[in-house]
Amino acid sequence: MILWEIFAIAGLVFIILEMIVPSMFFLNLAFAGFITAIAAVWINDWIILTILFVVLSILSILFLRPILIKNRADKEKETGMQGKYIGKIVKVIEPVGKFSGAITIYDERWEARTEEDETIPAGAEVKIVKYDSLILTVERI
C-alpha cells in the first residue's frame, strides 16, 4: 500500500471516531492524517511522514482544539437550548427518581432525573437544574 493511502485511511478512521465520540480530539488527528497524506505524495520516507504526523497532531491539539471547543460552546449558547430550560419551574407527570421519570414543559413531555436518591411524586413542581441532551435534571423546590 502506498504511504499516502495509509495516512488518508487513518484520517478517515479518526473522522469516524470523532462522530462516535464527539470530543474534538480525533478531529485534530484526522486533520494531521490528511495533511500527512498530502505530504506523502512527495515524501516517500515513512519515518519522516510519521514524525510529520506526530508533530501536526501535537500542534493541532495545542492550537486548533481550544478554538474548536470554544466554537462548539458558542454554538450551544446561540441555540439557547440550555437557557430555554434551566431554572424553569415545571410539573412532574411521572414520578422522577435517579433512573426514571418525566416532566412537562411547554406542553412537551421530557425525560427527567434527580441527582438525589429521593423520588419526586407526580403532580409536584420542580426546578430544572441541568440540560443533558434529551434528559433534564430537576430538583424539588
Q: Is 57 exposed, middle or buried (0-12, 13-18, 19+ CB in 10 A)?
A: buried
Whether residue 7 is predicted with pLDDT greater than 80 in this model: the reply is: yes
Q: How many CB atoms lie within 10 A of CB 97?
A: 15
Q: How many whole angstroms separate alpha carbon 11 and alpha carbon 31?
A: 7
Q: How many CB atoms lie within 10 A of CB 7?
A: 24
pLDDT at residue 64, rounded to an integer:
86
Rounded percentage of the chain residues whose pLDDT exceeds 70? 91
C-alpha cell at 57: 497532531
Which residues, listed in sequence order, are joined to residue 89 by a DSSP beta bridge? Answer: 127
pLDDT tens, position by position, 78-131: 445 556 788 889 999 999 999 999 999 888 899 999 998 889 999 999 999 888
Domains and CATH numbers, the chain: 3-79 (no CATH), 82-140 (2.40.50.140)
Q: How many whole angstroms separate alpha carbon 37 and alpha carbon 65?
A: 21
